[in-house]
């Protein structure tokens, strides 16, 4: 029995001999470098005139560089640590995620009517960002171990719905409906990829849509946020203000932009220009062409990630690569859709470009895991 277990472990944690996907590493590196440039350009004037930034124009740049100094080595380390070890850490990742979501409700910093940030050792952490990947790790591990039972409602689907419900429920209590919807969507896609019955998947999609409408109508501010993006000029000084400023920035940039550092909207006209709405500043300075180039770089990462998922011979690795690619692609899509008026306003940073430590560290770590999986996917 011990010999059989030892043999299984040797196979499970065998040394990886393939090379990582260099194209992903290159694109991520380029995006990180460009992100530092954009954070400085978008934040300098605001930081220079803000007491909270000590009137230091380099405030956000220095913070972003400090986070990058942690995040980039983390990616390189995780690209060398066999991803199969994560399969045994799914339970711990879920427990930590749930613990952080409970802690933010009790001790979180309240901002704009919600508790979404937690101060840990002087660093602000957004537990919902951690929970997205904690849920992915757990679901991928469970579905790979119970692949033969995933078409069963009681043994396959129910446990996953319970876990998703706990995570989404705690996020709703913050309250953060948009993040809860994103997490539920990620979980639903993973369930489909994990092999649940198509009938169950369609039923969940319908039930989710109905629940979304009920929750949106239940609170007037949610309904106002959802409807305001369709015509922001109905309330140009209120709910539509931010989107109008973003559209001004994108429109005035034209095809090729005004040039780096020449944005007008960042001169205290638009809030969160260095974070959630940095894509608008980018388009103002580099034009629509610059925005398209950025989208193509993001698309390449998602394409390579899904290709790695398809090529990976290990079920856990395949699901994990797909999960990382889905989260990454969804976050990019939602951010750009919000900034361009295609979706209601919600606070989702643009990966590698927006200012912010939690998102940067988590997504760089995820890219490291994806690079590690690529080592094995190339052996086929």
Band of pLDDT at residue 10, cut at 50, 70 and 90? low
pLDDT beyond 70 at 197: yes
Angstrom CA distances, 286 to 28, 29, 277, 280, stand at 19, 19, 15, 10
**Whether this model's pTM surpasses 0.85:** yes
**pLDDT value for 380:** 44
Band of pLDDT at residue 174, cut at 50, 70 and 90? confident
**pLDDT value for 379:** 46
**Contact criterion met (CB below 8 Å) for 118 and 106:** no
Tell me what the mean pLDDT of segment 189-203 comes to.
88
DSSP alpha helices (H): ranges in 229-348? 241-253, 278-311, 315-339
Sign (positive or negative) of CA dihedral 59, 61, 64, 68? negative
Tell me what the mean pLDDT of segment 167-191 comes to.
89
Tell me the HSE value of 274 on the side-chain side, using a 13 A CA sphere: 24
Angstrom CA distances, 113 to 86, 173, 195, 313, 339, stand at 36, 12, 39, 46, 22
Band of pLDDT at residue 85, cut at 50, 70 and 90? confident
pLDDT beyond 60 at 9: no
Q: How many CB atoms lie within 10 A of CB 161?
A: 17
Report DSSP state, residue 365: H
The vertex-361 CA angle with 123 and 175, nearest 5°, equals: 65
**Any idea which of 27-31, 118-122, 186-190, 251-255 has the lowest mean pLDDT?**
118-122
Pick the more confident residue, 232 or 112. Answer: 232
pLDDT beyond 90 at 86: no
Tell me what the mean pLDDT of segment 339-348 comes to.
82
pLDDT beyond 90 at 153: no
**pLDDT value for 102:** 93
**Beta strands at 114-120 and 109-111: parallel, antiparallel or unpaired:** antiparallel
3-class secondary structure for 4-66?
HHHHHHHHHCCCCCCCCCHHHHHHHHHHHHHHHHHHHHHHHHHHHCCHHHCCCCCHHHHHHHH
Pick the more confident residue, 169 or 217. Answer: 169
- Residue 115 pairs in a beta bridge with 110
**Contact criterion met (CB below 8 Å) for 71 and 29:** no
**Contact criterion met (CB below 8 Å) for 136 and 320:** yes
Dist. CA 374–CA 307, nearest whole Å = 9
**pLDDT value for 106:** 87
Tell me what the mean pLDDT of segment 257-263 comes to.
90
Is residue 79 helix, strand or coil?
coil
Sign (positive or negative) of CA dihedral 287, 288, 291, 292? negative
Tokens 């194209």 belong to residue: 23
Report DSSP state, residue 366: H
Dist. CA 299–CA 318, nearest whole Å = 19
**Any idea which of 50-59, 106-115, 306-315, 346-355 has the lowest mean pLDDT?**
106-115
Pick the more confident residue, 10 or 38. Answer: 38
What b-and-e string marks burial along 174-185, b requiring 16 or more CB atoms within 10 Å of the CB?
Answer: bbbbbbbbbbbb
What average pLDDT does the chain have? Answer: 87
Task: Out of 92-101, 111-120, 210-219, give the one with best mean pLDDT.
Answer: 92-101
Tell me what the mean pLDDT of segment 194-210 comes to.
86
**Contact criterion met (CB below 8 Å) for 254 and 230:** no
Sorted by sequence, the CB contacts under 8 Å of residue 338 that are 6+ apart come out as: 229, 276, 344, 345, 346, 348
Sorted by sequence, the CB contacts under 8 Å of residue 354 that are 6+ apart come out as: 35, 39, 274, 275, 276, 278, 335
Query: Per the structure block, which two tokens stand in for 51?
Result: 């007491």
Band of pLDDT at residue 107, cut at 50, 70 and 90? confident
Pick the more confident residue, 306 or 109. Answer: 306
Cis peptide before 175 (omega within 30 of 0): yes
**Any idea which of 216-220, 316-320, 340-344, 351-355 has the lowest mean pLDDT?**
216-220
Pick the more confident residue, 347 or 304. Answer: 304
């Amino acid at each position: 029995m011990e010999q059989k277990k030892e043999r299984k472990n040797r196979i499970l944690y065998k040394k990886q001999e393939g090379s990582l996907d260099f194209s992903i590493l290159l694109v991520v590196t380029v995006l990180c470098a460009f992100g530092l440039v954009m954070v400085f350009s978008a934040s300098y004037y605001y930081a220079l005139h803000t007491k909270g930034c000590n009137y230091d124009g380099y405030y956000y740049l220095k913070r972003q560089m400090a986070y990058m100094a942690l995040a980039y080595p983390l990616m390189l380390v995780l690209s060398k640590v066999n991803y199969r070890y994560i399969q045994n850490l799914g339970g711990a990742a879920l427990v930590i995620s749930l613990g952080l979501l409970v802690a933010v409700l009790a001790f979180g910093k309240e901002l704009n009517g919600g508790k979404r940030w937690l101060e840990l050792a002087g660093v602000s952490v957004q537990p919902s960002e951690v929970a997205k990947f904690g849920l992915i790790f757990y679901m991928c591990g469970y579905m790979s171990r119970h692949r033969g039972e995933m078409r069963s409602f009681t043994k396959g689907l129910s446990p996953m719905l319970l876990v998703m419900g706990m995570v989404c429920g705690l996020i709703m209590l913050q309250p953060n409906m948009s993040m809860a919807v994103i997490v539920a969507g990620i979980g639903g896609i993973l369930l489909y990829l994990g092999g649940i019955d198509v009938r169950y998947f369609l039923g969940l999609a319908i039930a989710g849509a109905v629940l979304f409408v009920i929750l949106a109508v239940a609170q007037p501010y949610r309904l106002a946020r959802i409807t305001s993006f369709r015509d922001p000029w109905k309330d140009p000084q209120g709910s539509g203000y931010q989107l109008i400023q973003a559209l001004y920035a994108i429109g005035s940039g034209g095809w090729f932009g005004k040039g780096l550092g020449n944005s007008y909207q960042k001169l205290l006209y638009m809030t969160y220009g260095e974070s959630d709405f940095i894509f608008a500043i980018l388009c103002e300075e580099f034009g629509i062409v610059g925005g398209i180039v950025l989208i193509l770089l993001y698309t390449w990462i998602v394409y390579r990630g899904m290709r790695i998922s398809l090529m990976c011979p290990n079920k856990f690795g395949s699901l994990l690569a797909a999960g990382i690619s889905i989260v990454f692609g969804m976050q990019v899509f939602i951010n750009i859709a919000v900034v361009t008026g295609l979706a209601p306003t919600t606070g989702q940073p643009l990966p590698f470009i927006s200012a912010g430590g939690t998102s940067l560290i988590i997504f760089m770590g995820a890219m490291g895991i994806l690079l590690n999986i690529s080592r094995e996917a190339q052996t086929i």
